[in-house]
A and B are shown apart, each in its own frame.
Chain A
């Protein structure tokens, strides 16, 4: 029962990255929406939709990368619904998000069940395989960890960098950051508040869908009901924890993944003393604790949750 020993095994860190990957996508996606001023509670449903749509595309014969594109498209579609309800119509972001989650989930379940009748074990596809990056896999300790990861994990990490760049080094990112603080500022400079917000929500939702797709196309190889299991909500908590910053988002996701991987291993060590459910609860409890710790000082985007209407001054 040596904590340090667990931390030093490669399999632990490999598992950490695997658990963290969908969270990275989810937190990035939610972060983009919230930076623009809109809370997207559709994330849980979009995860389901991405998981189902991407998987099903592969099941019907398309390539894995096409499957990802399908997931992106589906995520963007549900994001568009949320965007229309919350931006030009200015409806409650909470209710709209929950509605989108319910819609995306029920559409996904219905489609899956209709296309594939009930069987004893869920059908499988050939998922993403571990991806060997030529130079990096030679490195000691880090090498084996990285070479166990699939292309999607690399995509997630690259995406962190891309999002960071866009937010901090491009005019587009500047306008997104501005619109989440004071839409009037953006409007007065001749930019379209609606356009920036709607675009951000669609892009953010597409990225969220990749988080779901990772579950069925990389971590596992089939789709089953209830597989998302609250990961979307955990991402919403992690965004606050990450102070809406891509770099911290990556860190938060990895920390969370580490904790989750740790508790699985801990279970095998001390499993006799505590019922397994205590360990199962741990990720959720941890998220709540993380949220409480940062909540006081959290600097929410100032315009978050506030609808903005053109011409209402």
Chain B
């Protein structure tokens, strides 16, 4: 890459939330036309840092300078997305900032015109966007409601939004989390092409492989500090992994096991989702004792319906679901639990725990009719307390205490709470839905360890994950879900699975 102008400089940026230090005196420079990867595990402070660049947060200390259009480095007004946009900084957020009730065009137009204007100027906008789409190869249907688009299409809209605002610096937060491997490749091809035109890019990732494949330089964050910076040409997986975690990563070896009898079977199950894409259509799936079956796929292809069925939150329209060989007629979460199905929900804050209730209460929420919790309709506070104390010890759940609001726990500890709740019941079937999403490596490892333990014990596990590496590491067998159909992957290479995720034949 040409040694050239610096376009962005973050100096000594620090930020804390309450007692948690998110960023500690971080220094980052960005040069024109380069792709800088910001690498770190979940919770390292990458997103917080970029959020400050984009004006969502104000740093406690430090400054940010941006190259102005006149060629000078000028300080950036902090805390206002508009100021960052005006300075030429755009961000593609991990959780898309799109209004689903509006069309693609409207989402792009939003905020780009004078708010007191008497009418839109849509035709101009349309022309400009079409030009951008042609130049970059990123297409999206302008008049379609965003709510109807696939995840990949929505991401393209997010990028188009930034390009429409003529940004010079583009930040992408975990851009490939929702893409197939092939889509990820295409995305980075597009991005590289744009850098030739002078666009400077920062992308946030926790995936070593893609960081090595697609960046010019890598900056590594750990526990809020920048611990290293290295040109990609000089880096390799082991070196940056060590920088990222600070020690050798623990491997969870998956021993080969002899599978047992089927614990979960779906025979010809069809169930309606929001659209045909997200509905299950005559699906077949079998999971045996001592087995982890991974379901790979881009989100929005039917995973939610599958998860809902096994959680007892939905009924199949046709076909049968068998647990331990028994045909399920009546679907409810209670029923599933009593049959030995443990469920780790995808959205732990929305479905997993009740934030306003205490840790002790959340630990027994699925056992309200058990003898040690319920005595003639009244809560057995003593044994609930004892149960909580034992479990936080056993599962290393860290927080202000068993009577503290669960809202005060970190994501990793909330997940440990959910694991405690699920695994203590010794379930025969476990539904693990995006179990390590948003967790740091330590916590993610813990989850993987427990899943493997359960597998050794004899459980059959359905692992739904967007993280292909996780699927490859933990699964005995891999199914790929696309447009509501489940297909077994015979060729378990990344490329083959990637193609199946996109609906193409390997």
Contacts and interface: CB of A to CB of B under 8 A. Distances in A.
**A contacts B: CB pair < 8 Å:** yes
Given A177-B99, A181-B99, A169 B119 contact: yes
Given A187-B56, A190-B82, A311-B56, A171 B95 contact: no
Contact of A174 (B81, B91, B110): B110
Interface string A179-215: 0011011111111000000000000000000000000
Sorting the interface of chain B by its residue count into under 10, 10 to 19, 20 to 34 or 35 or more gives: 35 or more
Contacts of A191: 82, 110-111, 115
A172 B111 CA distance: 9
A296 interface: no
Contacts of B99: 177-178, 181-182, 185-186
Contact of A172 (B91, B100, B102, B116): B116
Contacts, number: 89
A175 B110 CA distance: 6
B130 to A, nearest CB: 20
Contact of A181 (B51, B95, B101, B115): B101
A302 interface: yes
A188 B115 contact: no
Interface in B95-111: 95, 97-102, 106-107, 109-111
A313 interface: yes
B193 to A, nearest CB: 24
Interface in B58-85: 58, 80-85
Contacts of B350: none
A313 B93 CA distance: 11
A188 B97 contact: yes
B114 interface: yes
Interface string B116-155: 1111100000000000000000000000000000000000
A169 B121 CA distance: 9
Contact of B102 (A178, A188, A311): A178
A302 B97 contact: no
B118 A313 contact: no
Nearest to B117: A171
Contacts of A181: 99-102
B24 to A, nearest CB: 19
B111 A189 contact: yes
A312 B82 CA distance: 17
Contacts of B110: 171, 174-175, 178, 185-186, 189, 191
A170 interface: yes
Contacts of B119: 169-170
A182 B100 contact: yes
Contacts of A172: 115-116
B57 interface: yes
Nearest to A173: B120
A187 B81 contact: yes
B236 interface: no
Nearest to B158: A188
Interface residues of A, number: 23
A188 B93 CA distance: 9
A286 B97 CA distance: 39
B98 A190 contact: no
B101 A190 contact: no
| A184, A190, A299 — most chain B CB neighbours (10 Å) | A190
B113 interface: yes
B112 interface: yes
A184 B97 CA distance: 5
B115 A175 contact: yes
A114 B56 CA distance: 50
B161 interface: yes
A170 B54 CA distance: 26
Contacts of B113: 171
A174 B101 contact: no
A299 B145 CA distance: 14
A188 B81 contact: yes
Interface in A25-48: none
Nearest to B83: A190
B319 to A, nearest CB: 26
Contacts of B81: 187-190
A299 to B, nearest CB: 8
A174 B106 CA distance: 7
| B91, B93, B100, B101 — most chain A CB neighbours (10 Å) | B101
A190 B80 contact: yes
A126 to B, nearest CB: 37
A301 B147 CA distance: 13
A191 B111 CA distance: 6
Given A188-B81, A190-B85, A182 B98 contact: yes
A186 B111 CA distance: 7
B101 A177 contact: yes
Contacts of B83: 190
Contacts of B101: 177, 181, 299, 301-302
A190 B90 CA distance: 11
B140 to A, nearest CB: 15
B161 A177 contact: no
B115 to A, nearest CB: 5
A184 B114 CA distance: 19
Nearest to A195: B115
B102 A174 contact: yes
A190 B112 CA distance: 9
Interface in A84-129: none
Nearest to A303: B99
Given A177-B101, A181-B99, 11 more contacts: A169-B120, A171-B115, A172-B115, A174-B120, A178-B110, A185-B97, A189-B85, A190-B84, A191-B115, A313-B47, A313-B57
28 contacts: A170-B118, A171-B117, A171-B120, A172-B115, A172-B116, A174-B110, A175-B110, A175-B111, A175-B115, A177-B99, A177-B101, A178-B106, A181-B102, A184-B95, A185-B98, A185-B107, A185-B110, A189-B85, A189-B112, A189-B161, A190-B81, A190-B82, A190-B86, A191-B111, A302-B101, A311-B56, A313-B47, A313-B56
Ranked 6 nearest A-B pairs via Cβ? A189-B111, A190-B82, A188-B97, A178-B99, A181-B99, A171-B113
Interface of A: 169-172, 174-175, 177-178, 181-182, 184-191, 299, 301-302, 311, 313
